Structure 1
Amino acid sequence: MNTIFSIKEVTNKIEHFCTYQKRCHEEVVQKLRALKMDPEEIDRIMVHLIPDNFLNEERFTCSFGRGKHRKKHWGKIRIANELKSKRITQTLITIVLKEIYPDEYDATFNALAERQLGIHTERDTLKKRNKFCDYMLRRGYENNLVFEKVKELEHLEYG
């Protein structure tokens, strides 16, 4: 038994933790471990959180994916990789990626690409292209989108 906090105290803390921001199971388990809870206590608390809807993996996944795309302008690859690192199932990842509408995704990609190209003052075309590609790939956009955009912009640049 944990001597620092009672199960009730920790449960209340974790309920607040989950209410403040949507959380995935992995984040909650890590928080409980940080509070020095043993595996049986963690299981008891997790069993309480799920039916009381403090913890909902699908809700978390959808919120995370939409938020990272709309606010941080992440691409689908980065969103999927971040969710995998949080041990989210492939089924839920597929659901959230389908919720990102193609028109919205393309508009975000194009706006980010235009802004990024406007930032670079690099005169060397090869260096400029490499910086652009590296940035867009780090943001999690698909290779084919990034390379098509580079070709399109080079075509416009050289007429």
Structure 2
Amino acid sequence: MEPTKTIKITDENTAMRKAEHYCAYQERSQQEVRNKLYEWGVVGRIVETVISRLITDNFLNEERFARTYARSKFNQKQWGRIKIKQGLKLKQVPDVLIKKALLGIDAEDYWQVLHTLINKKAPLVKEKDPFKRRYKLQQYAMSRGFENDLIAEVLKASEL
């Protein structure tokens, strides 16, 4: 088996075309695009030039990325705000955009998702001791990125 050859892109226009295609496929953060350009072998000022052009041509928009990321992680994976915030921080999205993105999550929907998550998990927890049972449900919801005070409210309301 031959080792895979990595193609090095040295031409700005080629890098731009590939980056446009990469961004058109799915919303990306600036850091994701920067990392991909480095992976393709693009170096130096070309990286920042390509990123600037992508922003100008609206292929790359951090605020749009943050909103989309938050909405999709909440709706599809049922992540809480804490886990979403961590994910956005890992992608080096500015804090102000993270706050805006998290505000886009409807409070009523958030409460409902947490409530549903806990109620679905409850029958699967085999613990007999009510304190340990509550603790396990709380830990589960926290691992999904939900806030401790909201979890406590839902557990109290559900009487689990």
Structure 1 length-normalised TM: 0.88
1:144 match: 149
Counterpart for residue 119 of structure 1: 124
User: Are 2:22 and 1:22 aligned?
Assistant: no
Question: Shift of residue 147 of structure 1?
Answer: 2.3
Structure 1: runs of 5 or more not aligned? none
For structure 2, which runs of at least 5 residues remain unmatched after alignment?
A: 1-6
Distance 1:115 1:128 in 2: 14
State whether structure 2 residue 53 is matched by structure 1 residue 43. Answer: no
Q: Which one of 16, 25, 29 corresponds to residue 11 of structure 1?
A: 16
Partner Cα distance (1:127, 1:11) in 2: 55
The amino acid of 2:14's aligned partner reads: E
Task: Return the alpha-carbon distance in structure 1 between the equivalents of residues 35 and 79 of structure 2.
Answer: 25
RMSD: 1.7
CA distance in 2: counterparts of 1:33 and 1:138, whole angstroms: 33
Q: Which amino acid aligns with 2:15?
A: V
Q: How many residues are treated as equivalent by the alignment?
A: 153
Aligned to 2:111: 106
SS at match of 2:92: coil
1:112: how far off? 0.7
Determine what percentage of the aligned residue pairs are the same residue. 33
Task: State the AA in 2 paired with 1:49.
Answer: L
Structure 1 residue 136: deviation in Å?
Answer: 0.7
Q: CA deviation at 1:151?
A: 3.7
Whether contact under 8 Å (2:29, 2:60) holds in the other structure is yes
Residue type of the partner of 1:4? K
Whether 1:90 and 2:92 are equivalent positions in the alignment is no
**Deviates most, 128-137 or 69-78:** 128-137
Shift of 1:15: 0.7
**Could you tell me how far 1:57 is from its partner in structure 2?**
0.5
- Distance, in Å, in 1 between the alignment partners of 2:49 and 2:121 is 49
